Structure 1
């Protein structure tokens, strides 16, 4: 009984860490700064399609978080700036991209 409880708590803590703990090594970037450096970075918009369609960011790869595992190879091998709708989406997408070998250097959270 106690071993099962320890295993459940461990998985719960890993889930919470993956979603809510900030990712270290990336900085917040302003969209105006990102627009000047589009040759140096790839902008990946990880918001839902309906959110990114209403607020289009030019030259951004629109790949929502659930599709990142399947379509990460569409992103060029450049430094990546993640555009997210909230901090949970930013954390999850950054961790997915880093696990796939991509280098995320910044993020921007778009608030409604």
Structure 2
């Protein structure tokens, strides 16, 4: 019984860490100011219904839920992430790093970079 509770607590901590704990080492960059000139590929991980209303020119649109299936279609190993909120950014950056991508920066559409 104690082992089951311990496993449940560990699983809960891993899930909360993956989704809500901030990712460090990835700077926020504003695409509008042209701070993203050195990045080869822009990956838009927002949902399709959000990304079609406010598209990013030249971006590959792969929502967070589809990263596992379509991450092989990203042509470059150096990417810039466009996300709607912190949760999408955290999950997307962690997954792409696990797959061997170097995430140079991110842009959130819900807020501006400082």
State TM-score, norm by structure 2: 0.90
State how 1:83-102 maps to structure 2 within 5 Å.
83-102=82-101
Is 1:2 the counterpart of 2:2 in the alignment? yes
CA distance in 1, matches of 2:36, 2:25: 21
SS in 1 for 2:106: strand
Q: Which runs of 5+ in 1 are unaligned?
A: none
Q: Is the 8 A contact 2:43 2:59 kept in 1?
A: yes
SS in 2 for 1:57: coil
**Cα-Cα RMSD:** 1.6
Which residue number corresponds to residue 20 of structure 1? 20
Is 1:104 the counterpart of 2:103 in the alignment? yes
Superposition deviation, residue 12 in structure 1: 0.1
Matched residue pairs, number?
A: 111
Task: Identify if the C-alpha distance between structure 1 residues 106 and 57 changes in structure 2 by more than 3 Å, giving closer, same or farther.
Answer: same
Q: Alpha-carbon deviations, 1:36-65, whole Å to 9, x = none?
A: 61x633110000001000001110000000
Which has the larger helix fraction?
Answer: 1
Is 1:30 the counterpart of 2:26 in the alignment? no
Superposition deviation, residue 24 in structure 1: 1.6
